[in-house]
Amino acid sequence: MSNILEGLNDRQLEAASHVNGPLLIIAGAGSGKTNVVTRRIAYLIKEKGIDPYNIMAITFTNKAAGEMRERVDRYVGMGSEGVWVATFHSSCVRILRRHIDQIGYDTHFTIYDTDDSKSVMKAVMKKLQIDPKQIKEATILREISNAKNELLGPDDYEEQHRMDFGKRQIVRAYLEYQDTLRKNNALDFDDLIRMTVYLFKACPEVLANYQDRFHYICVDEYQDTNTAQFELVRLLAGQRKNICVVGDDDQSIYKFRGANIMNILNFENVFKGAKVVKLEQNYRSTQNILNAANAVIAHNRGRKTKRLWTERESDVPVYFNIYGSSGEEAASVASDIARLKAKGHADYNDCAILYRTNAQSREFEEAFVRENIPYYIVGGINFYARKEIKDVLAYLKTVDNASDDLAVRRIINVPRRSIGATTVQKVSEYADMRMISFFEACKRAKEIEGLGKAAGKLVTFAQMIESYREDVKEYGISAMAIKLLDETGYVEEIKDADEDDAQERIENIEELMNRISSYEEQNPEGTLSGFLEEVALVSDVDNADQRIPRVYLMTVHSAKGLEFSRVYLCGMEEGVFPGNMSINSGHSEDIEEERRLAYVAITRAKDVLKISAAKSRRSWGETQYNAVSRFIKEIPEEYLSGDINRIRRESYEFEDDGYSRSRFDDDMPFGSGNDDSDFFGSILKARKQKKETPKEVIPKEKPVMKLGSELTGGKPDYEVGDTVEHVKYGRGKVLEMEKGPKDYKVTVLFDEAGQKIMYAAFAKLKKI
């Protein structure tokens, strides 16, 4: 055996020593794929005499390319610099810089970033008189990006949608957008790969030149390639077909970015006679963790069969716990980490908290502050430092203390009120001359010369803030905040912008509303000032010395490629993981991608994996009761320890004589974080007791405060027993209505989403 291949297991050796012909390496999580790829490159050079100049290795990120380059240099030594190691996009830039003049561009072309593309599209829409209220700039740019990833230029896109009148505005915009880029000698990010493929097809001699150079091609993370990337490597492989692709179909989790899992699943059909090697020995996790991962992913149909195994035996099981609420979940995780650290069993940076969405980080951040645990958010920023959160908090600070000029200036034109920089400057100068606050100057705007129509807008803004001060005194923080979001149209502006991250930004605002609601429940006499003080405490924690070990918090998407000794996989509930969007899409492939995401999460753990769910979780200020995730149900009980005695789902139907149990699924896992009590049974009992104790009679009329189209303080137009409809959860039956100090708490059993408890003003239920 070559010294270069020494230490590889049988399957790794089989892959690394393969020389000619197509090769598919199915590399399971933690199976040492990078080691195999770089050893194979070294083997080709040192043992088979292949010129480094004739080898190409492509990956997705600069970090991955840098790691691969470092290993190749270490194994090969002198001459290794001849190997082409680069990302897809940087490879295409190098090629286009040399040859793009052959398809009508200057080789000194400009590469437009996202902001440049937005500026061009705004100008295009203005020129073509496309109303942004009818179709958003971001929608058009996203459609163009998708088209380019599918190798559809503007003419191709126009032909494909010739009979689709719904796409005619996008067709016009795409044609004009691309024409503008061409005139400016510019390419956007998606053009880099598309135009390289176009170059190769339009100029066969250029393609032949690169085919003659790259005798051996290796593509890493092949499961993440899109159509354009697939076609690029297919062309480069040419007649030799010495192409090696490495990836794991079970870790294909980037469909939203255009990744096409069929590229890896159909590899043998495209490259006939391909050798397939499966790397199933895992060097990262214990067998118990792998058993859980294998059990979950086995439920996917669109995959290549494989089963991870390891020589790392351990008697430590996979722990599963269910808590009363998401707040209890976060507090328990923080307490567990603090205990381990105190006993010297683990350091902070041994631990990672994984969740489905960024918005879930908030409760963990606050729990860690209480326990004095340092942490770091991977792939994101502190929850309270996110733009949308800072904007809403700036509103709350202005309501609480209008002398905070920084907060007032931040939101004076957010959402847009046609109050420009010149107006702000004049107001600032007026305030400085009279030694008053910026907000006070806004109130006196009609005294400021040269403001014109802007003066009225400033006065209206100030009056709006003054009204919220009265609202918070009378109705509380959350009711005032709901009214503020509704009347300012802040959330609607995010929706209208139709950005790729719009849903995530809205979810973050939703989580802030949950935080406000929790604060009010925990502090009946709490004030807006008190809430803002708590927020400031959480915000300041990230200023600690970054050299101190920290607990890592991240979404599962951000965790791909990473590993940790101890992993806490949290929020494993239906509607959270998998998310409602995937559940309600009606497409099985969406659930399969969520399951692959769960597989990735589980396989991040090396030594200890603790999975948890919460019986109740807030959503937009409402308390919701979600079933335990189906992915937990898919793990056999022999691999789990903890709350596994009864993982159940229950639902109820309203009847004339009360609430009766209508469905009971014994094999759906459900447990308790503290004991084996029947959680939903306790709810049923409590509800029956409440029914026996008459509540305050719901008044027919009462003074009301407007909150969008709903009323808070007044009686809703539906009653117990009525069928209602919710914009998110669909149809359901009203089970209970409870009068509160500020609003009605309504319990609804939805046909599809199950039982939810919400506030009438925020739920906006419509009687059917």
Mode of pairing for the β-strands spanning 551-555 and 351-355: parallel
- HSE of 587, CA atoms in CB hemisphere, 13 A: 8
Q: Catalytic site residue 689?
A: no
Annotated catalytic residue, options 143, 176, 220, 507: 220
Spatial separation of the C-alpha atoms in residues 544 and 657, rounded to whole Å = 59
Q: Helices 137-149 & 114-128, crossing angle to 10 degrees?
A: 110
User: Does the annotation mark 160 as catalytic?
Assistant: no
CA distance 66 to 135: 41
Q: CA 185: distance to chain centroid?
A: 34
Task: State how far the Cα of 235 lies from the Cα of 216, in Å rounded to an integer.
Answer: 13
Can you tell me whether residue 768 is helix, strand or coil?
Answer: coil
* Catalytic entry in 34, 139, 503, 527: 34
Backbone angles phi, psi at 614, to 5 degrees: -125, 140
Catalytic residue, chosen from 137, 176, 190, 221, is 221
Cis peptide bond prior to 578, omega within 30° of 0: yes
**What's the CA gap between 437 and 403, in Å, rounded?**
6
Buried b (16+ CB within 10 A) or exposed e, 362-389: bbbbbbbbebebbbbbeebebbbebebb
Please pick, among 39, 148, 410, 604, the residue that the annotation labels catalytic. Answer: 604
* Phi and psi torsions of 17, nearest 5°: -95, 0
Residue 356 falls in the annotated catalytic set: no
**268-307: burial string, b at 16+ Cβ within 10 Å, e else:** eeebeebbebbbbbbebbbbbbbbbbbbbbbebeebeebe
- What H or E segment, with its residue span, contains residue 291? helix 287-297
Query: What is the dihedral sign for C-alpha 582, 586, 590, 594?
Result: positive
Q: How far apart are CA 765 and CA 623, in angstroms?
A: 16
Tokens standing for residue 205: 């001699």
- Please give the Cα distance from 580 to 583 (Å, whole number): 5
Alpha carbons 193 and 410: distance in angstroms, whole number = 39
CA atoms of 725 and 408, how far apart (whole Å): 38
Q: Is 23 helix (H, G, I), strand (E, B) or coil?
A: strand
In whole angstroms, give the CA distance from residue 623 to residue 184: 53
Nearest to 402 by CA among 447, 446, 438, 435: 438
Tokens standing for residue 472:
């918070």
Which position among 38, 211, 227, 251 bears the catalytic label? Answer: 251
For the chain, the distance separating the N- and C-terminal CA atoms, rounded to the nearest angstrom, is 75
Q: Is residue 284 annotated as part of the catalytic site, yes or no?
A: no
- Compute the distance between CA of residue 58 and CA of residue 236 in angstroms, rounded to an integer: 12
What would the two tokens of residue 743 be? 């609003």
CA distances from 2 to 7, 75, 281, 339, 639 (A): 10, 12, 21, 48, 40
Per the CB < 8 A criterion, the answer to whether 247 and 223 are in contact is yes
For residues 445 and 419, give the distance between their C-alpha atoms in angstroms, rounded to a whole number. 12
Assign 392 to helix, strand or coil: helix
**Backbone phi and psi for residue 319, each to the nearest 5 degrees, phi listed first:** -90, 140
Strands 564-569 and 551-555: unpaired
Active site residue 650: no
Alpha carbons 238 and 207: distance in angstroms, whole number:
9
Question: Residue holding tokens 């996979």?
Answer: 318
Rounded distance between C-alpha atoms, residue 450 and residue 453, angstroms: 9
Burial class (CB in 10 A: 0-12, 13-18, 19+), 150: middle
Q: Which of 11, 33, 136, 278 is catalytic?
A: 33
Amino acid at 107: T
List C-alpha distances in Å: 628 to 289, 574, 633, 638, 668: 19, 6, 8, 18, 8
Residues in the chain: 768
Asked if 344 and 635 count as a contact pair (C-beta separation under 8 A), the reply is no
**542 is annotated as an active-site residue:** no
Which position has the token pair 């559809």? 152
List active site positions: 33-34, 220-221, 251, 604
